[in-house]
Amino acid sequence: MDGLLLFAHGARDPAWAAPFQAIAAELQARRPDLPIALAYLELMTPDIATAAGALAARGCQRIQVVPMFLGASGHVRRDVPPLIESLRAAHPGILFLLHDAIGEQRSVIAAMAAATLDLVEAARIPIDPLSTPAFPSSP
């Protein structure tokens, strides 16, 4: 059985996790048969080892790890691969597949560009490369 582990950075403010929790809930609604876990690199729980352990306990034999980062930051390049190696060592019978950062996926780039244009059009801000929007000055 496959499992999906969404891996985000984490933050001190619990509200920061809301979009990631919404993504996990949306995925679960679309794929109720797929075990899904959400884990964080720091400042929040569960960590990746705990989340992977929960998926392993559910019988997952292959766990796909999707870094929920906009780009291949230092965390994605430096910190995530050793964490995946630790998971492989802790669960030798499970295949862990590490995907590229979600923000580097063409469909995500296209969706973010479309959402940005929607915001611009909804605010009726003309796109003029020669002008700078005027913002109120701070008091």
pTM here is 0.84
Q: Strand, helix or coil at 110?
A: helix
Cα torsion 122, 125, 126, 130 to 10°: value is: -150
Q: Is residue 34 over pLDDT 90?
A: yes
Q: Is residue 139 over pLDDT 60?
A: no
Distances (CA, A) of 99 to 18, 33, 57, 66: 22, 21, 22, 5
* Domains with residue ranges and CATH for the chain: 2-122 (3.40.50.1400)
Tens digit of pLDDT for each residue in 37-77? 999 999 999 999 999 999 999 999 999 999 999 987 777 88
| pLDDT score of 123 | 82
Which of 80, 98, 97 has its CA nearest to residue 40? 80
Q: Is residue 138 over pLDDT 80?
A: no
Tens digit of pLDDT for each residue in 89-130? 999 999 999 999 999 999 999 999 999 999 988 887 566 666
CA–CA gap between residue 84 and residue 48 (Å, rounded)? 9
Q: Are 62 and 2 in contact (CB under 8 A)?
A: yes
Q: Is residue 19 over pLDDT 90?
A: yes
- Residue carrying structure tokens 């003309």: 126
